[in-house]
Amino acid sequence: METEQSLPPCRRAPEAADASAPRHVPGRIGELLTVVTDRPVSLYAAAVLRIGYGLLYLVFLLREFPHRDQIWGPGSPWTPELARQLFDQTGWASILTLSDSRAYFETCYVLALVTSALFMVGWRTRAVSVLFAVVVASFHARAIFMTDGGDNLVLLMAMYLVFTACGRRWSLDARRARLRASAGKTPRPPGGRAAAAGLRGSRRTLTSVLHNCGMFVIAAQVCFLYGSAGLYKVQGGTWGNGTALHYVLNLDLFRPWPELSLMADEHDVLIAVACYLTVLLQVAFPFVLFGRLKYPVLTVLLGMHLGIAVLMGLPLFSGAMIIADAVFLPDRFYRSLGRLWRRTSRRPDVRKTGAPPRGEQALVPSQPAPSSH
């Protein structure tokens, strides 16, 4: 008792401060949960991924249309029977192996083209995204020994985009929603008002959580891809001495234009600089995404992928990587591009009609009427 009474009152202040200090951690966790569950983020980036991968796979299928039977069809050296035997070991599956009929294969190919086009334009995106993932997985599994890194990345992104709200922007679904909102037609679920409000809130929260988690997984996948590729290159002696690209440019398998490859191979210093810069950017990529330094890094990576597409003849891989990099650009970047596009598309109409822009009409003084004499 005497000990408790002899304690000065100021001794309780540190205890109160210590008790309030841990409250910052639950507060931050609550803010994070609010961000994850409140609204979907990076909707424009998700739309770019949808448009990019839908267009890329559509072009890929059209490009291989003359060779479709030799790659995926019944006339392929890797027969459907061999594919089914491999599926028993790997656990893969493909709708192309359900029948050996040529008519069935041609129907599946046409449906794959239609699905890629519908996914690109964003028509009924929720359902079509699932069909697009099934199409990509089926064609990938049917000729798994004919694929490269681009096919693998497109397959992963197609599966991740199923969980995102990639049809909220720049899509036919978004246009239909705007027209419905302007007409005052909002869908009302059956039931009372309280039940309807609760149902809408639960659906909005579930959509936000799935979308945000899907976009996070996509960003993490790209970071892991770049980081692991850079660390793998560091272990190689040819990348350390700056001669790796020299050997790549002299491989017949990756020389679609031999004269261009020989011309690039003549610049030893530039090749060495490109080797070191490639390793540096890939290793540092996950650490520069939270500042403005990511913009020049993404620009250099864009040039690197374009060089791979041209010099090495890997357009599918380069296109898949360029589209994947778009996930790191914020929505304000895409909104500024949209405003720039609207201003650019509006100028020809102004020149044709001779009418001044809307903001300049008030600056033009009215002209007096001509006199009668």
| 324-350 per-position pLDDT tens digit | 999 999 999 998 888 888 888 776 554
Range scoring the smallest mean pLDDT among 47-51, 88-92, 144-148? 144-148
Q: Are residues 234 and 327 in the same domain?
A: yes
Q: Are residues 55 and 146 in the same domain?
A: yes
Q: Are residues 169 and 236 in the same domain?
A: no
Residue 200 lies in a domain: no
Inter-axis angle of helices 24-38 and 193-234, to 10 degrees? 100
Residue 182 lies in a domain: no
Domain that holds residue 133: 41-175
**pLDDT 10s digits, 93-131:** 999 999 999 999 999 999 999 999 999 999 999 999 999
Number of domains in the chain: 2
Q: What is the pLDDT of residue 11?
A: 45
Provide mean pLDDT across the span 3-21: 45
Measured distance CA(242)–CA(269) in Å, rounded: 9
**pLDDT 10s digits, 235-269:** 888 998 999 999 999 988 888 899 999 999 999 99
pLDDT bracket for residue 28 (50, 70, 90)? low
pLDDT bracket for residue 13 (50, 70, 90)? very low
Residue 352 lies in a domain: no
Residue 189 lies in a domain: no
Q: What is the pLDDT of residue 185?
A: 63
Q: Say whether pLDDT at 56 is over 60.
A: yes
Residue 49 lies in a domain: yes
Q: Are residues 131 and 255 in the same domain?
A: no
Q: Say whether pLDDT at 296 is over 80.
A: yes
Q: Are residues 55 and 170 in the same domain?
A: yes
Handedness of CA 255, 260, 262, 266 (dihedral sign): negative
Residue 99 lies in a domain: yes
pLDDT bracket for residue 31 (50, 70, 90)? low
Residue 7 lies in a domain: no
